[in-house]
Structure 1
Amino acid sequence: MPYESGTAWQYDVPTTGSTHLHPDAGYGKALSNQGYGFEVAVADLIDNSIDAGADKVVVHFLRDADRILTLLIIDNGTGMDDAGLDAAMTVGRRRDYGEGALGMYGTGLKAASLSNASALTVISRTKRSRAAGRRLTAEGIEDSFRCDTVDQRYAQDMVDRYDGVIEWQGTVVRWDGVRAFETVARGHSEAFLSKAIARLETHLGLYLHRFLQRGLQLDIAVWDVTGAGAGFGEEVDHIAVEPLDPFGYKVPGSKGYPRTFSAPVEGVGDLTLTTHVWPARSKQAGFRQIGSLSDRQGFYFYRNDRLVQAGGWNNLRNAESHLVLARVAVDLPLVANSVFSLDVKKETVTVTPAFTSAVDKAVDAQDATFQQFLGHAETAYREGSKRSDISRKAVTPPGKGLDPAIKRVIKEELPEKPGEDPIAFTWTTLADDVFFALDRESNAVLLNKTYREDFNDGRRGGTNDAPVTKTLLYLLLEDCFGLGRWEKTRQDRVDYWNTILLASARSQRERRMRSDS
């Protein structure tokens, strides 16, 4: 119906036609300003791997003697053919997601990558298509959204190089010009990587803990491309990411927990709230090692089993020290609604007052209220604060070369000395009459590589090999680091430990040689 001037209020704005307005190249610049942190961006890419059906994912740092060169994420998912790659790299294209998918907006691959790197390369292969690749750069986007085609020989070479992960199908995502890497001064890459990998391991272990508990194999590896391994360098570090369950206590802090509450959310229906009370003073990694206890109290929202918010009360109340034991698991409803909205980075949930109002009305099967749950958490905290506890001496933390699972237990059991560099374990060439040596300037325990195979069933072993031997040495030698004056009695103790352990190592070698013969 034609619009007539002076008519009554229009509930719908009348139109007379339409045109398709293509995005300006300047839109591409917005992709690099989405505020993705490094760990959040990597997790977003791993979401794509999980959506592709991958059960094996490797986050791969490449470095040389001076610099951190690039980052790759490799998976054994279903992969993409040429058409799939073109669709995945199209800026502004939103694809249809299945009900159980982790992806939502269709921008994560590009936005997460270009927020952290100047170039994104994706190489993929399906069971029915050959390896192919596409490369997107900030300059290419400004040049009418240009996407470059990767040389097919290089694409095949990359797939072949990672045949330990990609067998018949899979994808390699490569970041070049990573901004965080370019800020690292020469000679400081080792320290940077140690801290960056620790943060990444914690983030992935927490936000993907349900997938890791169900069998997802997620590793973080570092390769030195100047090493002597098959023309591609050698692995210098390898970590298997373990799940960090924010509800993984062994005994609850209050009797009868966890408890399930039902919250009547207007427009959504009954929403399940699973309430938990952690034991006071718990040293478990899922409580202590995932961030500030104050920040980690409150709601843990999940979307399709992927954690998308780890703590916070979402305007229900303020964070308080006496509620640090209170955590609530909430699985977001799959049906679209106006009550819950998730930001593009998948780390914050925004709720309307309909949610907080429903939480106040929530009850469990025995008609207990949500406020009573908070009271139980507060009581557990106050009673725990009154208990006397044995104070354990702080230690220098363990570092590279010791299995991450062991390092996590040590952190749970012993407080760390603040500001101390971790103690690393390295196999190297030493004199025949020495089993270990101390490099106190670099905070390292040096192990005689002559005996390495003896502690690895005749094999060379990996970065985190000989876990029992290294752990016992850590417990023996930890207090030899971070000292001022080096006393003669301490040197004497190290000397006789060395003599006894050397005899043990030689005995181990003799037993292995007899069994081999």
Structure 2
Amino acid sequence: MSAELFEVTPDPERITESLRDTGYVLNTAVADIIDNSIAAGADSVFVELKLDPRGNVRFSVTDNGIGMDRNGLVNALKYGSARRPDPSSLGKFGLGLKTASTSFARRLKLTSKSENGMPAATAIWDLDLVPVQGWQVSVDSQADPIDAGLLEKHTAGTGTVVRWEKIDRLIRDYKNPSGDRAHGAIKRHVNSLRDHLAMVFQRFLDPEDTRAANVKISVNETPVDAWNPFGFGSDKLLDASIPVDLGDKTTTMHLKAFVLPRKTELQAADGDGAPALARLGNKTQGIYVYRENRLIHGPDWLNMWAQEPHFTLCRAELSFDHELDLAFQVDIKKSTIILDTALADVVFRALTPPRRAAEARYRDGQRSRARDMSDPELHAPSNAAIKDKSKSIPNATLQSTDESSGTAEIRNDHGVVKVDFVQSTSGVFVEAVDELRDGILYQPAYIGDNPGVRISKSHPYYEKVYLPNQASGNTIQALDSLLWALASAEFRSAQDSTREIFEDIRYDVSRALKKLVEDLPSPDSE
């Protein structure tokens, strides 16, 4: 039996148009292009993103790397270009330049000058010509004059310019292409890109970080400064080298965990703007994953945990080299990974204690803020309303009080029973206190001569339900009335034999409410 072989060359037009939809966003696309610059040995990269006077988007990336000759230009524009000799190269799949660029532009120009003594040349990949030219690339031995000017301006000899033309997917078509709204859209892209590059290439941008070669990056001629997510006075709680068995050999990944200072601590140490510089917030917690010193994923918790407000202060650093690419399943855009199950289990167990420490620091701060934020007159309307209505509501009768022991004797339908007592001025039925024993939310107590309820400002329910509604007197009064009614009912039903039952109920209710409000946003007090 014999088989005949048939060529199944992909249709160039369908493939190139389909690859425009691989999911790139601008920040990821530009970072992919800069990967190639760093892989080419560049120590300076210049990004330009502007509108020209006619409202056309102008984008280019110029570097002072080793450059390419004509064959190198053709290979660079090939979908699935030749594998780089260095496996640790940031350019990994041979697709990034093309897919990143054509995600936003229909024409890609690549101009380069190498050390071979030949003048710079320009190669062009134009999607509108693919139906005619197929997979063929146009190379002009005379460099595009715009790109030649960029090379002359930014390099001392060798280097490369990546320039996009016919940009059709970056900003929408505005009625006035050069108006304020179009310029505002580009400005937002520029600011976002600057922040992204500062984070992704932090180890390269920081001259004091010796893990990576130092590279200077600028956007519109403004230098990009490194942003270190683990700085700002963070406490390092974990620093572990974890061996990974690859079958034929063993390599290592590195895991660190940090707890950031609370917002008020950052402000006290570095001024009011420090929390913004630290990008303190729910979306910046989690694991930052680095491949060959370049951030490729995160921050998030790699599907092990959700990004919950009480872990805002926790950040982790997971670093590996190219030998673990398969274990981490790095995607084409180098922006997403899938952690191997066995590795995920190791990371989960290692990060659990630091996450608990971060949660404790966060909750300590929340309790402190709850005490600071709570208006001392917050419960005054409730006290007035309850005072007015309490005489018509059946309740126990106060028999005696003992300030030294903090108890009072009351009589209800079951007889005389001892309850908690605090001395206070008349007219108080609801009292907010810093903390109650066992972390409970509320505690029935006679407050002076009045049947009352004490509410803990340290409980998450107070922080996430009471404080956000301080401006709504009706809501606060309704909440207070509910807790006071529960306390009043307990006074009427209390017996020595049922004391522990009521205490258990309060504990269980408080614990359940803590869990129920866990995912509610914290008040914007920081």
TM over 0.5: yes
Of the three residues 325, 340, 363, the one matched with 1:382 is 363
Identical residues among aligned pairs (%)? 28
Which residue matches 1:247? 230
Moved more, 347-356 or 33-42: 347-356
Of the three residues 165, 173, 176, the one matched with 1:183 is 173
Of the three residues 88, 92, 112, the one matched with 2:76 is 88
Contact 1:265-1:358 within 8 A present in 2 as well: no
Contact 1:91-1:145 within 8 A present in 2 as well: no
Contact 2:237-2:354 within 8 A present in 1 as well: no
Which residue matches 1:167? 156
1:23 aligns with 2:10: yes
Report the structure, 1 or 2, having the larger helix content: 2
Shift of 1:270: 5.3
Distance 1:287 1:147 in 2: 52
What TM-score does the superposition give when structure 2 sets the normalisation length? Answer: 0.61
Shift of 1:100: 2.2
Q: Superposition pairs for residues 110-149 of structure 1, below 5 Å?
A: 110-128=98-116, 129-149=118-138
Shift of 1:148: 4.7
Of the three residues 240, 244, 255, the one matched with 1:273 is 255
Contact 1:132-1:150 within 8 A present in 2 as well: yes
Of the three residues 145, 151, 155, the one matched with 2:144 is 155
Shift of 1:305: 0.6
Residues 97 and 336 of structure 1: CA distance in aligned 2, closer, same or farther (over 3 Å): farther
Distance 1:56 1:359 in 2: 36
Distance 1:299 1:202 in 2: 18
Distance 1:265 1:154 in 2: 48
1:195 aligns with 2:210: no
Contact 1:60-1:71 within 8 A present in 2 as well: yes
Q: Which AA in structure 2 matches 1:192?
A: A
Contact 1:123-1:134 within 8 A present in 2 as well: yes
Which ranges of 4 or more aligned residues in structure 1 deviate by more than 6 Å? 283-287
Contact 1:57-1:75 within 8 A present in 2 as well: yes
Contact 1:28-1:142 within 8 A present in 2 as well: no
Distance 2:201 2:329 in 1: 20
Shift of 1:97: 4.8
Give deviations 1:365-388, integer Å, cap 9, x for gaps.
xxxxx3221111111111222345
Shift of 1:36: 0.7
Secondary structure, in 3 states, of the residue corresponding to 1:375? helix
Give deviations 1:382-441, integer Å, cap 9, x for gaps.
1222345999xxxxxxxxxxxxxxxxxxxxxxxxxxxxxxxxxxxxxxxxxxxxxxxxxx
Shift of 1:332: 2.0
Give deviations 1:114-159, integer Å, cap 9, x for gaps.
0011110101001223111111111223335344535444436632
Contact 2:151-2:160 within 8 A present in 1 as well: no
Contact 1:94-1:107 within 8 A present in 2 as well: no
Which residue matches 2:53? 65
Distance 1:386 1:68 in 2: 53
What TM-score does the superposition give when structure 1 sets the normalisation length? Answer: 0.62
The runs of 5 or more residues in structure 1 that have no matched partner are 3-14, 222-237, 363-369, 392-517
Contact 1:263-1:359 within 8 A present in 2 as well: no
Give deviations 1:217-243, integer Å, cap 9, x for gaps.
21111xxxxxxxxxxxxxxxx421111
Give deviations 1:301-328, integer Å, cap 9, x for gaps.
1011100012111122222111111111
Of the three residues 333, 337, 343, the one matched with 1:355 is 343
Distance 2:309 2:171 in 1: 37
Secondary structure, in 3 states, of the residue corresponding to 2:79? coil
Shift of 1:28: 1.4
Which residue matches 2:352? 371
Residues 265 and 323 of structure 1: CA distance in aligned 2, closer, same or farther (over 3 Å): farther
Distance 1:61 1:28 in 2: 24
Q: Which AA in structure 1 matches 2:84?
A: D
Q: RMSD of aligned C-alpha atoms?
A: 2.7
The runs of 5 or more residues in structure 2 that have no matched partner are 208-213, 374-526
1:298 aligns with 2:286: yes
Shift of 1:69: 3.4
Q: Which AA in structure 2 matches 1:158?
A: D
Please identify the structure whose Cα radius of gyration is greater.
Answer: 2
Q: Which AA in structure 2 matches 1:275?
A: A
Q: Which AA in structure 2 matches 1:119?
A: R
Shift of 1:64: 3.0
Which residue matches 2:26? 38
